[in-house]
Chains A and B, each alone.
Chain A
């Protein structure tokens, strides 16, 4: 593997919660432009790993490096400003605001930075940002819901909107925590198509997913996590054929 292609490097990360060794000796390298899936049974530490990357949790030891910058110790908003966006397992959205405003806010964060005192400018004059947000909503097929309150959307629509909120920032790295959980088969397929479309734009993605259909349609590389350790690493075919994986994870599905 060429070192220069690695955009995200999780190096020797350990995370303990009291006596629980939630992450043990995690070493993960994500290559630029690739979709890297992390799979594993419930409680394997997948979400903990994502939380460590995004700065929500501090690792007990080890560090996370993104494109030469150490993320460990930085605040979530600083990490986002470096170009990392995240879709949560339970959608984190602005329930009291309209769908359009939900998507405009991240676009403003991207343009104006982490703080601007632009209180005498009118929101109506932000035509550029508005157009961008409307275009983004069109991409995820939500144009007709743009004036609705985000809190009144269906679960699947909330996830799609959250994805739009991340995509509008054109992040270099997108972290997806079960992006299709709770979606109908039809919505899942739409989301897969959407994620494939982004893939062709060269965005790097780390995706946690239970649905093997989603994983094998999207992933270039798969890491299998079990009890806080990476037990297998490789292309989808390699992982599918790995007996350890069969035993720890896929075996249970048969």
Chain B
């Protein structure tokens, strides 16, 4: 076991698996224990874990990862339309197509680094969005979005003589992937995605990515060609994004161009920074928190707020409702923006840094009161 995975990594992985699989139970008291939201937790968790491989480990900030997410969605829906309603071929197809797409875009964008790299990725993503929205309408069905219909060929399903009645729904080995089945399907992929990310971070390859982030010049003078390393990280994170996009198509078989817009690219950056750049768990937590508050806050409206503040005197309540209403509903992005600013200023390492600080404070107070001499210090 020692050479395969260290004890700490194993505990982290097992802990993560348990937390994910038990989500329907422990999230129920927070009003988030229903499949639709849980599926999104899984999907955006995968997106953020993959994004972190590029941004967190390698230090390249992409502002265009929604393009790969969208390509994954389109590829999955096309697989449902042309091949079969089974989800597995769709996932494989989507990951391969988005990986290929990432290879081409990454090859071009990685000729530059820093801000120029970020702008190039943004430009390519917006180009992809516009292509999907208008030019490539035969492939993407433009504004309406790509949908499943009864008239789709589905050659593999037809070959085994399977026919459908009503609206086609993605399946796994004949079982429909709605509700909790859909959640556990996505959860399986999140756990797998986390496992692979953990292996990458703990491999010599992962150390090279961190070294590129730390000092690219030294890497080159140490005998490493850094370009293929960065490109590999780019393609891997593009494949993660494609996987996430495909899962979204599995749970809701409709692919639209808006998934590729720059706001969607920006959202995954926020998730990663909010949770903790470069940490394994941080980006997942960031994704969960953003999706949770999006769900809660965007559902609030003036009536609910009026009831919530009703204990205040009439005039005051009106003013408070007016102010707070700007931060909920469609205005929840305002809340997100504020939260993001506060985290970046006070906790530049994201939520994970907060966790580390609290843990360190506990350890300090615990050891200083109980047995101060037991504190281990690095040998000098």
**A, B co-complexed:** yes
Binding site for B on A (CB under 8 A): 54, 75-77, 80-81, 85-86, 88, 92-97, 101, 104-106, 108-110, 112-126, 144-145, 147-148, 165, 169
B2 with A101: CB separation less than 8 A: no
A123 with B203: CB separation less than 8 A: yes
B214 with A94: CB separation less than 8 A: yes
B224 with A122: CB separation less than 8 A: no
How many Å from the CB of B73 to the closest CB on chain A?
26
B220 with A76: CB separation less than 8 A: yes
**Chain A binder among B204-212, B318-326, B359-367:** B204-212
Task: Please indicate the chain B residues that have their CB under 8 angstroms from the CB of A117 in the complex.
Answer: 205, 232
Known: A80-B223, A109-B222, A144-B378. A104 touches B203 (CB 8 A): no
B203 with A147: CB separation less than 8 A: no
Residues of B360-380 contacting chain A, CB below 8 A: 378-380
Question: Can you list 10 contacts pairing A with B, beta carbon distance less than 8 Å?
Answer: A75-B220, A77-B219, A88-B221, A92-B221, A110-B223, A113-B223, A121-B204, A122-B5, A123-B203, A169-B222
Q: How many A-B residue pairs have CB under 8 A?
A: 114
How many Å from the CB of B111 to the closest CB on chain A?
14
Residues of B268-326 contacting chain A, CB below 8 A: none
B202 with A124: CB separation less than 8 A: yes
The chain A residue sitting closest to B200, CB to CB, is A119
The answer, among B203, B213, B221, B223, for a CB contact under 8 Å with A119, is B203
CA distance A122 to B206 in the complex (A): 10
CA distance A122 to B10 in the complex (A): 13
Known: A95-B214, A96-B214. A54 touches B207 (CB 8 A): no
- Interface residue B333 (Cβ < 8 Å from any Cβ of A): no
B232 with A106: CB separation less than 8 A: no
B220 with A122: CB separation less than 8 A: no
Known: A75-B220, A97-B211. A116 touches B225 (CB 8 A): no
Nearest first, the 9 A-B pairs at minimum CB distance are A80-B223, A119-B205, A109-B223, A125-B3, A94-B214, A114-B225, A92-B218, A96-B214, A76-B220
B214 with A118: CB separation less than 8 A: no
Task: Please indicate the chain A residues that have their CB under 8 angstroms from the CB of B208 in the complex.
Answer: 105, 108
The chain B residue sitting closest to A94, CB to CB, is B214
How many Å from the CB of B3 to the closest CB on chain A?
4
How many Å from the CB of A85 to the closest CB on chain B?
8
Known: A124-B3, A125-B3, A144-B378. A76 touches B221 (CB 8 A): yes
- Interface residue B4 (Cβ < 8 Å from any Cβ of A): yes
Contact with A along B188-203 (1 / 0, CB 8 A): 0000000000011011
Known: A123-B204, A124-B3. A80 touches B214 (CB 8 A): no
Task: Please indicate the chain A residues that have their CB under 8 angstroms from the CB of B207 in the complex.
Answer: 97, 101, 104-105, 108, 123
How many Å from the CB of B294 to the closest CB on chain A?
33
The answer, among A76, A94, A115, A125, for a CB contact under 8 Å with B215, is A94
CA distance A131 to B173 in the complex (A): 50
The answer, among B4, B205, B213, for a CB contact under 8 Å with A96, is B213
Task: Please indicate the chain A residues that have their CB under 8 angstroms from the CB of B217 in the complex.
Answer: 92
B205 with A118: CB separation less than 8 A: yes
Task: Please indicate the chain A residues that have their CB under 8 angstroms from the CB of B224 in the complex.
Answer: 77, 109, 114-115
How many Å from the CB of B231 to the closest CB on chain A?
10
Task: Please indicate the chain B residues that have their CB under 8 angstroms from the CB of A165 in the complex.
Answer: 222
Given contacts A92-B217, A104-B207, 15 further A-B contacts (CB under 8 A): A76-B220, A96-B213, A96-B214, A101-B207, A106-B223, A108-B204, A112-B204, A113-B223, A115-B228, A117-B232, A119-B199, A119-B203, A121-B203, A121-B204, A147-B378
Task: Please indicate the chain A residues that have their CB under 8 angstroms from the CB of B202 in the complex.
Answer: 122-124
Known: A123-B204, A144-B380. A75 touches B225 (CB 8 A): yes
Most buried by B among A94, A110, A116, A119: A119
How many Å from the CB of B52 to the closest CB on chain A?
15
- Interface residue B185 (Cβ < 8 Å from any Cβ of A): no
Most buried by B among A97, A114, A148: A114
- Interface residue B263 (Cβ < 8 Å from any Cβ of A): no
- Interface residue B327 (Cβ < 8 Å from any Cβ of A): no
